Amino acid sequence: MASIHIDRRIRRRGATCGAPGRLVAALVLACGVTACGFHLRGEATYTFTTVYLNSPATSAITIDLRRSLEGAGSAKLVPEADKAQVVLDINSVEDDKHILSLSSGGKVFEYLLTKRVLFRVHDNEGNDWLPTSEVVIRRTYTYSDTEALAKTYEEARLWRDMQVDAVQQIVRRLQVAKKPDA
């Protein structure tokens, strides 16, 4: 009985001493993260003040790009090209799915998903701020007939993640767009 009583005191004492220890550990971790140069992305800054997005309105990438440009950038999205300092043309968006490997039984084992986006940034006079550029995102995933429903959801999630990655890369490239020398 005495050993149980002592054991409870030790546990209680450890619990009260743990809070300062956790605080110190959190501070050390925070200092370590900031020392390596990590910082939050913050607002995107562009060399232009207004932008027009020239892309089909119903396209999924248009919706995501519009949301990204309106939400986290210094440039204002305008509804007409003639009122914009630059025009972002989305020339094409291609989604490809290829068989990457087969199992020994001849069934699909692995797929390769590829999203390719061609875009260009120019002003109303036709001067290229960013010449036609390409963003290519690739993902692979394994497939199994016994898990067909789960793999369908996994594929849909991968396509969505690839879309988000493509939008983020386009926004980062817009940050380096410069007015062409006259």
Read off the pLDDT of residues 11-25 as tens digits, 9 standing for 90 and up.
555 445 567 777 777
User: Rounded CA gap, 102 and 104, in Å?
Assistant: 7
| One domain, residues 96 and 17 | no
Q: What is the pLDDT of residues 118-138, one digit of tens each?
A: 999 999 998 999 999 999 999
Domain count, the chain: 2
Residue 180 lies in a domain: no
Q: Which domain range does residue 54 map to? A: 50-174
pTM of the entire structure?
Answer: 0.74
The neighbour count for residue 119, using CB atoms within 10 Å, is 25
Q: Are 78 and 51 in contact (CB under 8 A)?
A: yes
143 shares a domain with 162: yes
